[in-house]
Amino acid sequence: MAQVEATTERVVAAQPDDVFDALADYTGTRPKVLSGHFSEYEVREGGDGEGSLVHWKLQATSKRVRDCLLEVSEPTDGELVEKDRNSSMVTTWRVTPAGEGKSRVVVTSVWNGAGGIGGFFEKTFAPKGLGRIYDEVLAKLATEVEK
């Protein structure tokens, strides 16, 4: 099994603390910024960053749906980590300053991919597909926090 990684980033015209707070707000902002690839969204515990437990289904392709149950932690300032209890997937959101009144948001997902030919295709195509999904989420996040 090879590790698969997908990374997407965007500069947002808002203060890093405001951007981070929006990302960590699983009850208010987060459901608003998710793309149509996400369904059955539910906050099961917490709802504000560290200690939250969030469920959703992620439809990456017409045939591939991941049932995600995410434990949220904040290991360092400006970093939000979502560990999926149902798979090896870990998604890390990092928010850092990017100049006056701007923030750089980087989202990286890593997971253990399949073996064999299926793993080859997963490693080749999944990062691009997930990148497109997170690009849409980051665009919606920018719209939300740049108000």
Cross-sheet strand order for the sheet of 79-84:
3-12, 103-112, 90-97, 79-84, 65-73, 53-59, 38-45
pLDDT of residue 63: 83
Task: Encode pLDDT of 42-81 as tens digits.
Answer: 999 999 999 999 999 999 888 889 999 999 999 999 999 9
Task: Encode pLDDT of 121-139 as tens digits.
Answer: 777 778 888 999 999 999 9
What does pLDDT average to over the chain? 93
Helices (H), 1-115: 16-24, 29-33
Q: Are 37 and 140 in contact (CB under 8 A)?
A: no
Dihedrals φ, ψ of 54, to 5°? -125, 140
pLDDT of residue 106: 98
pLDDT of residue 1: 62
Residue 12 has pLDDT above 80, yes or no: yes
